[in-house]
Structure formats: structure tokens, C-alpha cells
Amino acid sequence: MMRFEVGAEDLLRTRFAVSPIFELHNLLRALSIPAPRLPSSWLARFRSGFDRLRHDPCLAAVQMLKNARQGANFYTPPPRGMTQTIEQDLAAVRSWPLAAAREEIDFYLAGRHVPAAVAAILHADDVLDRLAGFLELAWSEVLAGEWPQLRAVCERDVVHRAAELGRAGWAAALAGLGPQVRWRDGGIELAAHGGPVGALGGAGLLLVPSVLVRPGTAVFADDPWPKAIIYPARGAGALFESAAEPVPSALAALLGRSRAQLLTALAEPASTTHLAAVLELATGAVGDHLAVLLRAGLVTRARSGRSVLYSRTPLGDAVIEASA
């Protein structure tokens, strides 16, 4: 079992972040090998873009730099916060110290058969630029179009946990990070991970919600990452289903169908982009309808990272309950 001892300074400095490049790596892996933890119908949305990359030797090179327990640090740099972008991630890959990257490459290739085309990439003087260029292409071809929805799910998770932290403290905020994560006796225990007991040392913990790491968690405890837990984002199941909840007919008659759909969908905070995708409505129309619901006091809004998230007010909840 791994355990992080947590002091008062650590609680003050613990923060959330999103990692676009971590999600990209996990998606490429899920598309390359069977991934029963993710619905095949959802993965099918990414297949056409992935098929254009399937025979690129850089894909094989990227996938050789990991094993069942961990992956190279240099191509998954740690995120800084909730506003992290893929451009920042790729810049960090390109600027990584080459000597440190070569040490990691040698570690992951040791004792393995490496195809000549892959070896040529991983032993090239410009290996960092080559891999970053491929990841940039993979982002554009595979994930860029869906990223706003994935980011919205992660941001909604953070809003929920921040509310739990304010309501009931760290034990409540950490509940649900994973099936074997818990707060106990002044520390965080991760029963699914082996490792020594370690103190956070006043640096705090980095908590990273992820749509694609599931059902368990990933842990980073070695430099250059701060100590971090990457955990399944709450509400990802709704993203996989991509199906709107049924709208009560009385509510549709009162508000109009589109506004009734939006109010029903806001059981949890969501962005305009996410709502438009799930409900198959134009983004501009969603914004207009949300403005009306906001003026009526049925919804409220708050900024989280790069997005503005809308949620139902108590009055909006009461309208939903009455119409149901």
C-alpha cells in the first residue's frame, strides 16, 4: 500500500489540474489494443483519425516508452493547473533535457526487440522534436474535436470536489477518487499501489481528473512530477452514453423543449460546449437559451479553468421536481 502523509501546509497547497497530453496517450493506447474499460461505441468516434496514424512508426515509438506500470516522464510532462493546454504540453516535451530523455528511452527499450524504423526515431538527435511533432498531429487528427467535452467533464468533477471540500472537508473531497483511495489518520492511502510511506513535505498534492484512466488510479511520485493522483473523473459515464435525459412534457410546454432539455441536463454543472454536443444543439442557440434561464433564476454560472459552467439553482431544482 502507498501512503502520503499530509501536513497543514500540504492541505493549503494541494491543487487540481488537467492534463491534455495524458488523455491523448491513454486514448492512443485504448485505440491500439482492446480496452474493455471504455465503451467500444464511444471509441469508434476516434477510429477514423487514428487509422490515419496507425502505420506511423512514431506511434510505435511512443507506445514502446511505457510498460504495464508506468511511462516515460519526458513525453507526459506534469500539468500546471486547470488551464493547461496541449500547446504547453508539447512545448515542455520539446524543451526536455535530451540527456534525461535518453536515459528514459534506454530504460524502456532494455531487453526488447525494437524495429529498425522505431530505433531510428528513438536514437535520433531530434527525437524530442519528432515525438512532439507526432503527438501534435495525433492531437489534431484524433482528440482535438472531442477535447472540449472531455475537459468539461474534468472541470465538472473539480467543481463537485471543491464543493465537497467546503462542505465536509478532505475526507469527503477524496471520497470517490478511486475504489481504494481514502483519507485515514492524517494521510491519503492508496491500497491499489505499492510503495513506501512518504511525506508530501509541504508541497501539497496534485489531483488530476481523467476521462480515460479507469477504473483505478495512476500515481506519480517521482521527479519531475510533483506527487500526484490521476483519478477517474466523476460523470464520465454520461459522456460515454451521450444521451439526453427524457424531458417531462409539462416542463417542455412551460419553457419550450430546448430550454427544458437544458434545465434537465444541468443536474451537474456543464459548459455550453458540452451541452451543445450532448443535446445536438447549436452552440449559439444553447448560449441564448441559457441566458434566458439565467435571467429567470433557474440556473447560475461560475468559471472553472477555461470554461464557464452552468448549474441549476434551488429554484431550477424545484421546477424539475414539480414537473416530474
Listed residues 119, 148, 177: the one ending a domain: 148
- Same domain for 269 and 199, yes or no, is no
Q: Which pLDDT does position 243 carry in this prediction?
A: 55
Q: Which of 310, 14, 50, 9 is nearest to 161 (CA)?
A: 14
Give yes or no for a contact between 118 and 48, defined as CB atoms under 8 angstroms apart: no
Is 80 exceeded by the pLDDT of residue 226?
Answer: yes
pLDDT band at residue 225 using 50, 70 and 90 as cut-offs? confident
DSSP H helices, the chain, are: 8-13, 20-32, 40-43, 47-51, 57-64, 86-94, 98-109, 116-122, 127-138, 147-168, 170-174, 236-241, 249-255, 257-265, 272-279, 283-295, 314-323
Q: Which three cell numbers stand for residue 274?
A: 458540452
Q: Cell 511505457 identifies what position?
A: 66
Listed residues 148, 178, 203: the one ending a domain: 148
Torsion sign, CA atoms 25, 29, 35, 39: positive
- Same domain for 142 and 214, yes or no, is no
Which residue range is the domain that position 301 belongs to? 243-323
Is 70 exceeded by the pLDDT of residue 217?
Answer: yes
| Alpha carbon separation from 271 to 111, 143, 148, 304 (Å, rounded) | 47, 18, 9, 10
Cα-trace Rg, the chain = 21
Residue 140 region by backbone torsions, left for phi larger than 0, else alpha for psi between -120 and 50, else beta: alpha
- Same domain for 137 and 67, yes or no, is yes
CB atoms within 10 A of CB 130: 17
Is 60 exceeded by the pLDDT of residue 242?
Answer: no
- Same domain for 42 and 62, yes or no, is yes
Listed residues 180, 206, 237: the one ending a domain: 237
CATH number at residue 275: 1.10.10.10
Q: Which three cell numbers stand for residue 272?
A: 455550453
- Same domain for 99 and 191, yes or no, is no
- Same domain for 173 and 95, yes or no, is no
- Same domain for 11 and 158, yes or no, is yes
- Same domain for 304 and 222, yes or no, is no
pLDDT tens readout for residues 253-299: 989 999 999 999 888 788 888 788 778 888 899 999 999 999 999 99
| Cα angle: 183, vertex 186, 191; to 5 degrees | 40
Rounded distance between C-alpha atoms, residue 172 and residue 164, angstroms: 6
| Alpha carbon separation from 163 to 159, 172, 191 (Å, rounded) | 6, 10, 25
When divided into structural domains, the chain yields a total of 3
- Same domain for 66 and 130, yes or no, is yes
Residues in a beta bridge with 71: 66
pLDDT band at residue 244 using 50, 70 and 90 as cut-offs? low
Is 70 exceeded by the pLDDT of residue 196?
Answer: no
- Same domain for 71 and 162, yes or no, is no
pLDDT tens readout for residues 113-140: 999 999 999 999 999 999 999 999 999 9
- Same domain for 100 and 161, yes or no, is no
- Same domain for 211 and 190, yes or no, is yes
Mean pLDDT value of segment 214-231: 83
pLDDT band at residue 155 using 50, 70 and 90 as cut-offs? confident
